[in-house]
Structure formats: C-alpha cells, structure tokens
Amino acid sequence: MQRQILRNKNKIALISGILIAVGFLSKWIQDNTDILTWSLIIASLFGVAPIAIQAYQALRVKVVSIDVLVTIAVIGAFIIRNYEEAAIVTFLFLFGAYLEQRTLNKTRSAIKELTEMAPESALRQMPNGEFEEVEVDEVDVGDILLVKTGAKIPVDGTVLYGEGSVNEASITGESLPVSKEKGSKVYAGTILDNGTIQISADRVGEDTTFGKIIELVEEAQDSKSEAERFIDRFSKYYTPAVLVLGFVVWLFSSNLELAITILVLGCPGALVIGVPVSNVAGIGNGARHGILLKGSEVISDFSSLDTMVFDKTGTLTVGNPSVAEREYYGDNIDEVLGYLASVERESDHPLAKAVLAEIGETTFSPVENTEVVKGGGVVATVDGHRIAVGNVALMEREGVEIDEKVKADIARCERNGNSLVLTAVDGELKVLMGIRDQLRPGVKEDLQRLKKLRVKNLIMLSGDNQGTVDVVSRELGLTEAHGNMLPEDKAAYIKHLIEEEGQIVAFVGDGVNDSPSLALAHIGIAMGSGTDVAIETSDVVLMNSDFGRLPHALGLAKAISRNMKQNIFIAVGVVLLLLAGVLFSDWVNMTIGMLVHEGSILLVILNGMRLLRYKLR
C-alpha cells in the first residue's frame, strides 16, 4: 500500500490540485462553502498521505526530515480547522517535489547521454569466417569484430584491417573525427563516421575506457563534497531544532497556527539540495567536455589552488620529439647504431621512438640482460657488448670517459634546449643525440588563462637537463623550472610545497612515471588519453590530453564553488526572511511560507543548472 501511494505521488498531487480548484470555483461561482470545505479536506487527506509515509520512514531510521515537519504542520492545521492551508501546503509540497525531480533529472543528463551511447551489439567473426551480430556482453578479449560506417565501436581494440574516421566525442569531448588505420587504437562508445574496419578486442564490458568513464561519472555524481557532508550534519540537528522552536512558540504564545507556520517556514529543503545540484551539474558539464572531475570532494581544493606544477614531456610539449643534433665518436658507427636501435625498440619512451626514427633501417640484434636505471636510461648486452643508453648521469655511473670535446658538445646541445641520449659501448662513448620536443600548440596562451584564474605559481619539474628546462621555461614564462629530477625528486618537491610552504598544489602529468606526484598533490591532473593508470591515479582526467581543457576544468571548478555558495546564501536568506516575516509582521502565513519555500528550492536548482552551459570566457 505504501509503495503504491509513493509510486503515484505525482498523480495524487494532480488530484489534490483539481480538488482545490473545484472547491474554490464552487465558492466563487455558487458561493457554496460546503463543497469548498469538503474539497479542501479530501485534498488535504490525499496530499498528506505520501508525505506522512515518507515522514514515518524517516522516523523509523531516527531522522527528523522535512516530511515530518510538513506532516505535523498539516495535522496542526486540521486541529485548528484551517483546511485551506492544509490542502494548499500539501499540494505545493508535492508539486514542488515533482518540479524538483524534473529539473534535477536535467542536471543528470550527462550521465544519461553517456549510458545511451553505450553499444549494445557487435558483429563478431565466427569460426567459419562469417560475421554475426551478437550482444556486446558476449564479446571476449581477442575476438575479431567488424565495424561498418555509422556503427558504434563496441570494445576497446586495435585495428587489424581497413581505414576510417572515428568520432571520439564520447571519450575526448572533441567532435572532430580522428583517422584510424591498421595498428590504431579505437575505443568503445565512439562512432565510425566513414569506412569499414576490423578490430581485435583488447578490453570489453566495464573494462573499456568508456565503461570506466561511465563508472567514474556515476561515482562522482553520487559522492559528497565537504560542504555537502557539513550540510547533512547541519540539517540533522537543524530540523529537530525547528520542531523544538515551533513547540516553544506554541507553549509561550498558545498560538498553534503561528507554531505550525514556523514548522513550514523552517524547512531546510533549499539548503539540503542546493550544494548537490551544483556538484552534479558541474560534473555533468565536465563529462561533456572530456573532463572527469572524480568526485565532489575534488572541487574544493581545485577551485582554491594557488600553485600548478607540470611535467614537461607529453604535458607542456606534444610528446613526439625528434632528433635535432647528433655527434658520432670513433669507428664502426653503423654497427653501434644497430646496437642502439636494438635496445631502443624495446622501449615505448618518446625519446626511444625519436632515436629509432632517426636511425631508420638497420640490422637488429638480440638484446639480453636488460636493466632499466630509473632516471638514467637502459643498460643491456647486445652481441656480447655492454651497451649503455641514457643521460650523462648514466654515463658517469658506467665509468664512461667524457673528454673536453664531448663536454662542449653536451653543453651546446643543452643550451639549444635538447634532451640528451648518449650511447656507450663497453664503456666507450660512441653516439650523442640531442632530441627536441615541440611545445603544445596554444600552451602559452593556456598558461596565461591559468594566471587569469588566479594561479599564482606555474612550476615545471622535468627529468631533462637544466638547459632544456630553462629554454622551455623562458619561452612559456613559467615561475620556476627544475631539471634533472627523478620521480622521487618531484614527489619530494611537491611535499615541500605542501608541508613547508603551505600551498594548495595541483600536479599535471602523464599518470605513468609521475604517479607518486599525482597522488601527493592536493589535485592530481592526468594528461592520459584515457589510459588506465591516468584514470586510477588522478583526481581530474583530461581524456584527450588536450592541455586547452585545463583552463576550462579550473574555471569550471571555481564556478561550481561559487554556485554552491550562492545556493547556500539563497537558502539561508529565504529561511531568515520568512521567519522574520512571521515573527515581526503579519504578511506571512503557512501557504505563503510553503510557496516561497518551494520557490527557493526551484531557484537553487535553476541556479545550479546554469553550470550545464558553463563555458570559459
């Protein structure tokens, strides 16, 4: 019975409204007070039923909710035979709840749009070589799938055959199509605009990037910020306090109508709902722009940060460096380049890719006993030779002699802003390459936008040599720049900024090598193209590694924080105004109080919904 009543709450509100209208029309047209009275009584009983059930359910778990206050107020109105206010208050409360739900559903549109984008079926290759349509849940890792023009890509995978353009807006927030060919990665939930491709399934179901995005957005929208937790605690004591205030007023004034009016006016509905709606709408805006704010608790620190620390490669630069300068020492250089290429082809590091692109076609040899020296490079055995590939520190560790000419070459390369890759064979230096990365397009303007958003310090920490770091820092106008830093050095520097200088720090990195810094900073921001490590380590994820989204993310966090404060001000201001009105004047009654109360709830919801349209100026 209770479930049936609650399920039909909106219909009850409609019936209640019709009965009230019929009653007043009979009074105005026929001057029939009996029909008016009975219409109001029936409307009150209909309207209070779902409210009383919700009040009972709240009291069972020892919570004095808004429904309890309204139920007591309606009972009190019946006792003093004020059926008009009892009927109107219950109708306004139910109608307000209906409007609140409708408008709140709009703020959750981002997650709804995401779930609707989720693919439901796939064309899977069968043992006979034919492709048959199956449910996406039936696809396993390693299956070969066919995707045709206009279809949603059902899994994360690798293109085996074919070419096409893919709209990756559901992952990156960027609507421009991305060309895909053999070997390209594709993501579930994206759409093949044109072409036909066959893909091998790498990740399926909830393990796909798209599945993780939906999960994160759902968790973020359901999480509570510090402000929300405070308001929850506040309302836990505030609502009973209003009940006690109403009782005290009745006790001293013997005015039951005044007491029940105070119960209605003191309802903290707008206060309770104002902060969550701001968070939900803001997180929804971020999701549509390829920005994942991982929970409401992230917003407080993010909106008030004063220092932003950046990794260099792949963050401030495009992460696709090329060899700009090279020096060879001694004989048998072609053979040495073959050794170097053999070592580097086992690495995914951007510098290794640049070295391989520079060497081109060569003879590869088996690589054995590979040792990765953190922050230094790689040492391995190739054709019986000990090959060391890395920076100057690695060469010193290996006891490689560096003469004056080499020192001069190194200094020149560093002055020109190059990262260094040195290669030694059996302790003898053979190759020096200076590799330069290009700055991300528009990164200088984006950093200026961050300054306008009141980020006081822009700091770069990099494993590259100080000369390279200084060149980039001067070009971008950074506050500080520190080179030759290992991952643990970066983490220690972040800790120093937080604990000794008392700064609120965000760290922006690739989410792989810099995971300690991402975890230590108040806000970890991953430029990760949706990689697992980036998503799991950071607080904010820029899904397409677009640095230009960073000012939008920060501006959005500040807008959410402002919006929450505005909603709290509106909610508290309305309650104080109404209580002052009922205690010190005679213009406020129970009906007006409920009308203004519901109006304030709608006002804070509409104010929060403005965040859905937020754009950085």
- CB atoms near residue 586 (< 10 Å): 7
State the DSSP string of 269-326.
HHHHHHHHHHHHHHHHHHHHTTEEE--THHHHHHHT--EEEE-IIIIIB-S--EEEEE
Residues 560, 166: Cα–Cα separation, whole Å: 32
Asked if residue 119 lies in contact with residue 190, where contact means CB atoms within 8 angstroms, the answer is no
- Copy the structure tokens of residue 170: 């559901």
CA distance 241 to 14: 32
Return the number of other C-beta atoms located less than 10 Å from residue 44's C-beta: 27
Residue 520: closest CA among 368, 313, 307: 307
Cα-Cα-Cα-Cα dihedral sign, residues 30, 32, 33, 34 = negative
Structure tokens that stand for 546 in this block: 């677009």
Residue 132 in 3-state DSSP? strand
Identity at 616, one-letter amino acid code: L
Residue 213 and residue 208: Cα distance in Å, rounded?
Answer: 9
Beta bridge pairs of residue 194: 165
Q: Give the N- to C-terminal CA distance of the chain in Å, as an integer.
A: 53
| 164 within 8 A of 194, measured Cβ to Cβ | yes
Instruction: Give, for 263, the enclosing helix (H) or strand (E).
Output: helix 256-265
Torsion of CA 388, 394, 397, 398, to 10 degrees: 20
Pair of tokens at residue 31: 């001057």
Q: Is 202 a catalytic residue?
A: no
Handedness of CA 187, 188, 193, 196 (dihedral sign): positive
CA distances (Å), origin 241, targets 87, 244, 263, 528, 539: 25, 5, 10, 49, 38
Q: Maximum CA pair distance of the chain?
A: 114
One-character DSSP codes across 469-532:
HHHHHHHHT-SEEE-S--HHHHHHHHHHHHHTS---EEEEE-SSTTHHHHHHSSEEEE--TT-H
Catalytic residue among 143, 156, 311, 464: 311
Provide the pairing of β-strand 505-509 with 307-310.
parallel
Per DSSP bridges, beta strands 185-186 and 131-135 are unpaired
Using CB atoms within 10 Å of the CB of residue 574, give its burial: 0 to 12 exposed, 13 to 18 middle, 19+ buried.
buried
Task: Report the candidate in 469, 459, 460, 376 with the shortest Cα–Cα distance to residue 414.
Answer: 469
Q: What residues are annotated to the active site? A: 311
